[in-house]
Chain A
């Protein structure tokens, strides 16, 4: 059964880089049927899609965050990662990694989510 697990620091200083990794169960990341995404739950504001990446490196970034974002994939480690630069308190959120279902030929929804990790931006 496929599982996703986020990892990374729970506290990041303002203007530093928030770096998170998502580990996918072995053998499941290298498939064209799914894309790999980051989503965050901002306090009082709900869920926000951040970015996705395919196993081959195709990417999409939310335009509202694009200038500060990088997403990468390492299939040898069954991981994909997120870097968000120059963070502020407004980036404090629960960050989820998730799998996008593209099995119908069109990516349509997030069918599997990690448990999420709280990241606080504070000095």
Chain B
């Protein structure tokens, strides 16, 4: 299995301030098809996870522009440019370059 490590595991942010979450994989997530299969999910309290970012940096439809993803190979970052109250929840990275797909441990984001 490809291990995925997220840091930090928790984050407390003042509304309007930026937030950054890192994700590192045990091996490269670059597929032979040229795509990098790194995804970000967001789970609001009491809800199921919903996809935020695909292939490192592409936002799914409806995802606010304040969310951005970057990285390559084994190191990836999710950034929120200005945190809002509705961003409270748990963020997960996930790799789908190889089965079984695996997730990071999750980063809990709270608003001060």
- Checking B41, B48, B51 against A116 with a beta-carbon cut-off of 8 angstroms, the contacting residue is B48
Contacts of B103 in A (CB 8 A): 46-49
A109-B94 contact, Cβ under 8 Å, with A46-B103, A46-B104, A47-B106: yes
Are A46 and B100 in contact, CB atoms less than 8 angstroms apart? no
Mask: chain B, 85-112; 1 = CB below 8 Å from A; 0 = not: 0000000101010011111111000000
Are A63 and B100 in contact, CB atoms less than 8 angstroms apart? yes
Are B49 and A49 in contact, CB atoms less than 8 angstroms apart? no
Bound complex: CA of A80 vs CA of B102, how far in Å?
22
- Checking B37, B47, B51, B92 against A47 with a beta-carbon cut-off of 8 angstroms, the contacting residue is B92
Bound complex: CA of A80 vs CA of B105, how far in Å?
27
6 A-B residue pairs with Cβ-Cβ distance under 8 Å, sorted by A, are: A46-B104, A47-B103, A49-B101, A49-B102, A107-B96, A110-B49
Q: Does B39 contact A (CB under 8 A)?
A: yes
Binding site for B on A (CB under 8 A): 45-49, 60, 62-64, 96, 106-111, 113-116
Are B100 and A113 in contact, CB atoms less than 8 angstroms apart? no
Binding site for A on B (CB under 8 A): 1, 33, 37, 39, 41, 47-51, 54, 92, 94, 96, 99-106
A-B pairs, 6 with minimum CB distance: A113-B48, A47-B103, A62-B100, A46-B105, A49-B100, A49-B101
Are B48 and A115 in contact, CB atoms less than 8 angstroms apart? yes
Are A109 and B106 in contact, CB atoms less than 8 angstroms apart? no
Are A110 and B51 in contact, CB atoms less than 8 angstroms apart? yes
Are A113 and B49 in contact, CB atoms less than 8 angstroms apart? yes
Bound complex: CA of A62 vs CA of B1, how far in Å?
9
Bound complex: CA of A108 vs CA of B33, how far in Å?
12
Are A46 and B48 in contact, CB atoms less than 8 angstroms apart? no
Among A47, A63, A113, which residue has the most Cβ atoms of chain B within 10 A? A47
